[in-house]
Amino acid sequence: MRAIQLTGLALFILGFGLFLASFFMADYKIARSDFDKIVGHEGKVEGILTFTPEIVDTEYSTNFGFVGTIQKGINTFNRQQMMLFALKESEINLLISELGPPPYTFSLEMLNYIYPKINTSTIFKRRKMEEYGSWLAGRKYDSREALKKDLMSVANTINDYGIISEVGIDRYKARDIRYEATKLASHGPIKSSPGLFLALCYLLPIIGAMMYLLPKAKLDGPAGIKNSGIFHSVLKNKGWLGIMLGSFLIVFYIILYFFPEYMTEWIIMVDPVSQLLKNSDASRFFLYGFIYTLCILVMGVRMFIKYRHSKYQIMRTISVMFFQTAFAFLIPEILLRLNQPYFDFKNIWPLDYDFFFDNELNQLISSGSLGIFMLGWGIALIIIAVPVFVYFFGKRWYCSWVCGCGGLAETLGDPFRQLSDKSLKAWKIERWMIHAVLAFSVVMTGGVLYTYWSGNSWLGVIDSYTLREVYGVYIGAGFAGVVGTGFYPLMGNRVWCRFGCPLAAYLGIVQRFKSRFRITTNGGQCISCGNCSTYCEMGIDVRWYAQRGQNIVRSSCVGCGVCSSVCPRGVLNLENRDEEGRFGQPILIGNDSIKVEA
């Protein structure tokens, strides 16, 4: 058995090492015609290549050099456009000098003087001043300085937002250009044989993992949870291996969200799977969904072995494996193949924070009856399914049985669940932080819907587009991705669910005040071993409740049932009961061997 495990470990390391090495297995060269298609604007292509002609028809041995050259060309082009089209203070001063006696009144006709329609630059500046400064027309000012202040405010807004977005390359377009150009320019063994590298980099680790995991059922002896040196593990207790794994996950998420052009070889590798499912090449998020699903499936097998004594744990592991594979990965991709909107039927706002974005709403509404059904389904989940199901089953129905974030935390993150901070200070931070994110998501969504209905993005001094960008970058990508998963080996497996998930906060509010779900305790049987608190991924000091025989009704509890599964005395039971019937026969329990007499 040990030999099989060692062989499996060797295969896993070999496959994973090849996966990392594939990052560097390509050269990069792009033709002018391909670069034209990617940029999509002849004038901008000419502008970029004027400063960096070496972008096209030049061989690069690394994507770092190729991407760096593209970005250099874009930056130089943008600086040139800013010099040509930026509104200058001297122009505003010239405009002010033409005013008559006070009170000073601004009119759009005054723009003819400083911005005559004689060339591209002056035409652009006049048009932008008319768009951004129309609110100034007809206003009366007592001083030139007051009018100049407002005019400079308009000019600065145009310089900050209006120039690069129209006549330059904004950062979103620049990211797309870098990514698409790098993927198209790549040539090498992976581009030539993606199926071979897919098998080597994924099948080898999967086979190796299975060979390592499956013998554990016999090697570990009888079923049950054992504290066999878990806090001495270099992987499971923030040792060097855990720090390395956490660092890799953090870097992976940063590249995925912010620098996808550097992972094009990994994306090309899964093109065959993407072609099979949706008849088009893979994107970075297809790669992410593919890896995400494989992690849950493989580590789900580990859960079967570790918790083989508990039917409850086996059932919910099967559930998260099913919902991730079918609803989060396969069905949305197949919908794209059928020319239907991409839609995850199990994702719920505000976790699905972009559900009400204008592009999402427009796509659903324009997709006919199926799109309208998807929109109605999503809204029904928010206002009907959440309160009803939480009332009957607690937030566990979603957080521990359906959610993809929870599914990854319960499978890939299970080895690190004991690292969750159980201190009072952490609990206080948790309460403020998770509800602050919920409030932010509500405000952001309100701003998005206001813009959708009114066409105006400004609510006083708040710009709804800035709100959604800040939320997407810092919460959707940074917190949920980089911190939420990258910190598994450092802070436990439910960092995002505990401190950041707005849907968990919404579910938790309902669970805390109106739910039949609770964990009942039998204090007379508690031996204070501490297993329950140690393995609580949500940082709840379960032993404190168990020693006192108190029911556990906490908004943060996700009902994973592990506290019950690791209890050697059957003290803890998960129940869906009215308060007065809490000592009756439980409907669902966490430890299958325990029965509570009525």
- What sign results for the dihedral spanned by CA atoms 3, 415, 487, 482? positive
The first and second tokens of residue 109, run together, are 């006709």
Confidence at residue 597, expressed as pLDDT on a 0 to 100 scale:
33
Least confident segment among 71-75, 244-248, 462-466: 462-466
Give the lowest-confidence range in 92-96, 283-287, 408-412: 92-96
Q: Report the alpha-carbon distance of residue 494 to residue 556 in Å, rounded.
A: 11
pTM higher than 0.95: no
Residue 144 or 449, more confident? 449
- Cα(55)–Cα(31) distance, rounded to whole angstroms? 9
Helix (H, G, I), strand (E, B) or coil at 429: helix
**pLDDT range class, residue 227, cuts 50, 70, 90:** low
On the CB side of 365, CA atoms within 13 Å amount to 8
Q: At what angle do helices 368-380 and 358-365 cross, to 10 degrees?
A: 130
Q: pLDDT band at 295, cuts 50/70/90?
A: very high
- CB 430: neighbour CB atoms within 10 A? 19
Digit-coded pLDDT (tens) for 523-545? 788 999 899 999 999 999 999 99
Q: What is the largest CA-CA distance in the chain?
A: 96
Q: Render pLDDT for 85-130 as a digit per residue (tens, 0 to 9).
A: 999 998 888 888 877 777 888 788 878 777 777 788 888 888 888 8
Q: What is the DSSP letter of 328?
A: I
141 pairs with which residues across the strands? 104
**Lowest mean pLDDT: which of 62-66, 215-219, 358-362?**
215-219
Q: 452 falls in which pLDDT band (50, 70, 90)?
A: very high
By mean pLDDT, which of 130-139, 183-192, 418-427 is the weakest? 130-139
The pLDDT confidence band at residue 579, using thresholds 50, 70 and 90, is: low
Residue 334 has pLDDT above 60, yes or no: yes
* Distance separating alpha carbons of residues 77 and 84, to the nearest angstrom: 11
Q: What type of residue sits at position 415? A: P
Q: What is the DSSP letter of 133?
A: S
pLDDT score recorded for residue 107: 81
pLDDT in tens, 25-63: 999 999 999 999 999 888 899 999 999 999 999 999 999
Peptide bond into 101 cis (omega under 30): no
Say how far apart CA 68 and CA 72 lie, in whole Å: 6
Give the per-residue pLDDT at 577: 73
pLDDT at 593 over 90: no
- Determine the pLDDT at residue 109: 80
Burial class (CB in 10 A: 0-12, 13-18, 19+), 513: exposed
Average pLDDT of the residues in 234-263? 94
d(CA 110, CA 80): 27
Q: How confident is the model at residue 581 (pLDDT cuts 50, 70, 90)?
A: very low
Per-residue pLDDT of 415-443, as tens digits, reads: 999 999 999 999 999 999 999 999 999 99
Buried b (16+ CB within 10 A) or exposed e, 209-244: bbbbbbbeeeeeeeeebeeeeeeeeebbbbeeebee
C-alpha 466/C-alpha 461 separation (Å) is 11
Cis ω on the peptide bond leading into residue 350 (within 30° of 0)? Answer: yes
Q: Is 319 left (phi over 0), alpha (psi -120 to 50) or beta?
A: alpha
Helix (H) or strand (E) holding 145: helix 144-157
Q: What is the pLDDT of residue 363?
A: 93
- Residue 218: predicted pLDDT: 74
Ordered by start, the domain boundaries in the chain are 1-25+195-221, 27-84+166-180, 91-155, 515-581
CA distance 51 to 63: 20
Q: How far is CA 481 from the centre of its chain?
A: 5
User: CATH classification of 515-581 is 3.30.2130.10, yes or no?
Assistant: no
CA distance 445 to 379: 13
Q: Write down the pLDDT at residue 42.
A: 86
> What is the per-residue pLDDT across 459-509, written as a single tens digit (0 to 9) for each?
777 888 889 999 999 999 999 999 999 999 999 999 999 999 999 999 999
pLDDT interval class at 585 (50, 70, 90)? very low
Percentage, residues of the chain above pLDDT 70:
95
The share of the chain scoring above pLDDT 90, in percent, equals 71
CA 37 to chain centre: 29
Q: Is 521 in a helix, a strand, or coil?
A: strand
DSSP, collapsed to helix, strand or coil, labels residue 186 as strand
Q: How confident is the model at residue 226 (pLDDT cuts 50, 70, 90)?
A: low
Crossing angle, helix 171-185 and helix 32-39, to 10 degrees? 150
Q: Please, what is the average pLDDT of the chain? A: 90
Q: Residue 389 above 80 pLDDT?
A: yes
Model confidence at 588: pLDDT above 60:
no
Strand partners, 519: 552, 574
Task: Say yes or no to pLDDT of 329 above 70.
Answer: yes
Say yes or no to pLDDT of 234 above 80. yes
Per residue in 338-354, pLDDT tens?
999 999 999 999 999 99
Q: Are the C-beta atoms of 576 and 393 separated by less than 8 Å?
A: yes
Give the Cα separation of 280 and 271 in Å (integer): 8
User: Using an 8 Å Cβ cutoff, are 70 and 183 in contact?
Assistant: no
The kind and range of the H/E element at 441 are helix 424-454
Question: Above 60 in pLDDT, residue 592?
Answer: no
